[in-house]
Structure 1
Amino acid sequence: MSSIAEDAATLIAELLSRKYLARSHPRVKKALSDAELFAAIEQRLAQVGLRWVDNVYADHVSLTLLPAPLATVLGEAGLNANNNLDLPRDAVALLVVVWALIILPKRERQASRVEPDAPQNDMFAGSKPLPSARSVSPTISYKALLEDYGNQLGKRIRLDANLKLLERHGFIVRSQDDIKEGPLLDVLLDYDVLAPRILDGALSDVLALEQAAQAAAPAQPDDAAAPTNLNA
């Protein structure tokens, strides 16, 4: 077996056994910088219905199913299901909420090259290297999550159970009251698919509520100039 074939087989075996590896891992770094090795990895993975998955905004890489096997094995899923974890519906809802609270602001900070403690008037932020996920990824408070979304996500018992599931599968990391980005949160969920659904969907809901409120409001005479009562 050639050196390239050996390196490809070893890295794939390690990814299959560990589910993910850091981009700083020596074999991962070599694969990302060696086009011939990466092509051999992709070819081997494709033969068994798998593909390499990573992005420059995440600190880890992983494997997932190719689109055709994905559709055959898992069927249609609402958020580009990249795994066969068989999460219950309320756990998937929690995963989307956590993803939106962590990944959306993290990507914005990375795209603008701004660290959390950087001055707001930093004129040269755009020329700086991309911040690592760890350095700019926000932390969620468990108490705030329970207060804001507990009723919608099954209250404390279901929320606690589903957080344990997400942590077990590598989507989050918990430290007492803090919920942080796990190694797979920004890898297995497709940002290009999920972000527009969240951002555009939320905006559409707000506009619909505003239009409904305007339609329900009693008509004012043309010469009426009464100010809007914000406390109503």
Structure 2
Amino acid sequence: MEHELQTLTARLINHRWLPRNDRLVRRALVDETFRQDLDRRLGAVGLRLLDNPYAAHVAVGLAADMHEPVFGASREYAASNLGLTRDEIALLIIVWALIVLPKRERQVTRRELDDDGQADLFGTDKPVAHGDSVSAGLSEASLIADFGGRLGGKTKVRNFMLGKLARLGFIERRNGVILEGPLLDVALDYRMLADRIIHGTLADVLTEAGHSLPHANAFDLADHLPDEDPEDTEG
């Protein structure tokens, strides 16, 4: 077990994220002793495992008490510890809302992108799905047309801001489509953001631009986020 712990810790620190269906990641998610030892190893260097059962990846991030010692001297820390400007953070939140919120609704209700909307009597018994079956992409051109003017200009969004989010691992860009990156659903705090977006001003802004969000009264999304990784989760 010692070698596997050392290997997983080194891979997490080196790669920043790993797919949750990775053999050693899966062991960390279902083996309590292995997870505790991993947490101790990461905690010894000021890190923690970022895990969300509905995300397709796990990642490493700074422990809460390390934010100020590591980033406190940096002027940019007031906006983001990743060096994102306020406009870039706004774009990230918009992308998160348009990709993750609809995806979570599909995951919670055990429906996929090609679902015809008919009721499935056994839907709640299905494992939580990840990846392309539940996570839809966004048209880059449409996103820029809808929000580019609000975020510093269409050229800036296309040539600089989206590229930065892609380099950081939040999104992937393929043939004019923005897709979920490995960090989008695991690095942002779902419990905090979902409620603020659905019940906040951003919901009106997105609706005015023609983008639909899950209805607030359909279900409380946060209540469906389990504290532990379900053993039947698909990789």
**TM-score range relative to shorter protein:** 0.7 to 0.9
Other-structure match for 1:167: 166
1:137 and 2:145 are equivalent in the alignment: no
1:5–1:40 Cα contact (<8 Å) kept: no
Q: 2:84 aligns with which of 51, 70, 87?
A: 87
2:110–2:129 Cα contact (<8 Å) kept: yes
Other-structure match for 1:33: 30
Other-structure match for 1:126: 124
Superposition RMSD in Å: 2.0
Normalised TM-score (structure 1): 0.80
2:17–2:58 Cα contact (<8 Å) kept: yes
2:145–2:154 Cα contact (<8 Å) kept: no
SS in 2 for 1:30: helix
Deviating more after overlay: 64-73 vs 49-58: 64-73
SS in 2 for 1:151: helix
Structure 1 segment 211-230 matched on structure 2, within 5 A: none
SS in 2 for 1:109: helix
Shift of 1:141: 0.4
1:176 and 2:175 are equivalent in the alignment: yes
Shift of 1:43: 0.6
1:139–1:179 Cα contact (<8 Å) kept: yes
1:102 and 2:99 are equivalent in the alignment: yes
> Residues 32, 204 of structure 1: CA spacing in aligned structure 2 closer, same or farther, 3 A cutoff?
closer
Shift of 1:204: 9.0
2:197–2:203 Cα contact (<8 Å) kept: no
Shift of 1:193: 1.2
Letter in 2 for 1:131: A
Deviating more after overlay: 100-109 vs 84-93: 84-93
State the Cα deviation string for residues 118-163 of structure 1 (Å, max 9, x = none): 1212232222221213311111001110111011111222102010
Unpaired runs of 5+ residues, structure 2, are: 206-235
Unpaired runs of 5+ residues, structure 1, are: 207-232
Letter in 2 for 1:193: M
Q: How far apart, CA to CA, are the structure 2 residues paired with 1:192 and 1:157?
A: 33
Q: How far apart, CA to CA, are the structure 2 residues paired with 1:200 and 1:73?
A: 33
SS in 1 for 2:149: coil
Letter in 2 for 1:200: H
1:106–1:133 Cα contact (<8 Å) kept: no
2:92–2:165 Cα contact (<8 Å) kept: yes
SS in 2 for 1:189: coil
Other-structure match for 1:21: 18
SS in 1 for 2:141: helix
Letter in 1 for 2:49: W
Q: How far apart, CA to CA, are the structure 1 residues paired with 2:202 and 2:90?
A: 19
Higher relative contact order (CA 8 A, sep 6+): 2
- Identity among equivalent pairs (%): 43
